[in-house]
Amino acid sequence: MLTIACLSLSGGQGKTTTAVLLAKSLAQKGYTVLAVDADPQSNLSTFLESDVGEEMPTLLEVFKGTVAIADGIYATGIDHLFLIPSDDALDTVQDYLSSSGVGAMLLGKRLEAMKTVFDICLIDSPPQRSQICKSIIGAAHQILIPCEATVKGYGSLVRTLDAIKELTEIGVSQAQLLGVIPFRDRWVGNNQTHESRMCIQEMITEVGKELVFPSIRESERYKQAISQGKTLSALGAPELESPFETLVQHLTAIIEDNH
């Protein structure tokens, strides 16, 4: 199982949008995908239409080990796509992780039991540099950083790279940088706005051209695709699928290399 984290340490950077659309694209391609909602805001759980009752186990119980991980995994209604949901109680895991002493390694440990069951695990992260984020970085083999094509987005990229470096340097994480995906890239007609162009250029300077994926354009279509559960092609905008097609190709190559 290849574990990928969507991580970006500011709010509204496109983490959940990327996680939902990438998870669906991978499942559609035939991979067995485990989506993990590691954000107490639980947007991923909402978008994947989890209707897990209050008493049912979520990522909180999986983290604490009070249930077997299999009991926290639910079908989503989409073939090959499964979910460990969250709710706002997940916030309480922060203290548990910091007092456990092995917080950064815990999520990876819990996921290990699923390593022969799923092809890909895709984790959606909260925006804060928290204990949960450390555990996500510890669990990930690959990290995908969505960031807005704005000055704030660039700042989020720098902060996220710094957090990953901190944990790789002390040997807690072996994560590789899968790449950066510019989010809400603004075009007016055939012209990219100056701000978007400059900010994406800064991202390229920071991580290298080969690690910057095709951008997610500023468009209501992505929101519609998620809220209506439709593909971008079904909404008449197949060209907007390009970032996800490229990501799926890239991940397919990594999976084949690992075999």
Contact track, ligand ATP, 38-67, x by CB under 6 A: -x-x-x------------------------
Measured CA to CA, the distance from residue 184 to residue 14 in angstroms comes to 8
Closer residue to ligand ATP in complex, CB, 114/160 = 160
Measured CA to CA, the distance from residue 140 to residue 172 in angstroms comes to 11
Please tell me whether residue 218 binds ligand ATP under the rule CB under 6 A.
yes
Q: Name the minimum Å distance from CB 92 to ligand ATP.
A: 18
User: Which of the choices ligand ATP, Mg ion, none does residue 13 contact, using the CB cut-off of 5 to 8 A by kind?
Assistant: ligand ATP
Q: Name the minimum Å distance from CB 134 to ligand ATP.
A: 17
End-to-end CA distance of the chain: 11
Structure tokens at 14: 């496109």
**Of 13, 16, 131, 173, the one binding Mg ion by CB under 5 A:** 16
Q: Which of 198, 194, 164 is nearest to 179 (CA)?
A: 164
Measured CA to CA, the distance from residue 85 to residue 44 in angstroms comes to 8
Measured CA to CA, the distance from residue 140 to residue 5 in angstroms comes to 6
**Of 12, 155, 214, 229, the one binding ligand ATP by CB under 6 A:** 12
Closer residue to Mg ion in complex, CB, 16/173 = 16
Measured CA to CA, the distance from residue 226 to residue 232 in angstroms comes to 9
Please tell me whether residue 125 binds Mg ion under the rule CB under 5 A.
no
Q: Name the minimum Å distance from CB 11 to ligand ATP.
A: 4
Measured CA to CA, the distance from residue 61 to residue 64 in angstroms comes to 5
Please tell me whether residue 184 binds Mg ion under the rule CB under 5 A.
no
Please tell me whether residue 87 binds ligand ATP under the rule CB under 6 A.
no
Please tell me whether residue 24 binds ligand ATP under the rule CB under 6 A.
no
Measured CA to CA, the distance from residue 163 to residue 222 in angstroms comes to 29
Binding residues vs Mg ion (CB under 5 A): 15-16, 43
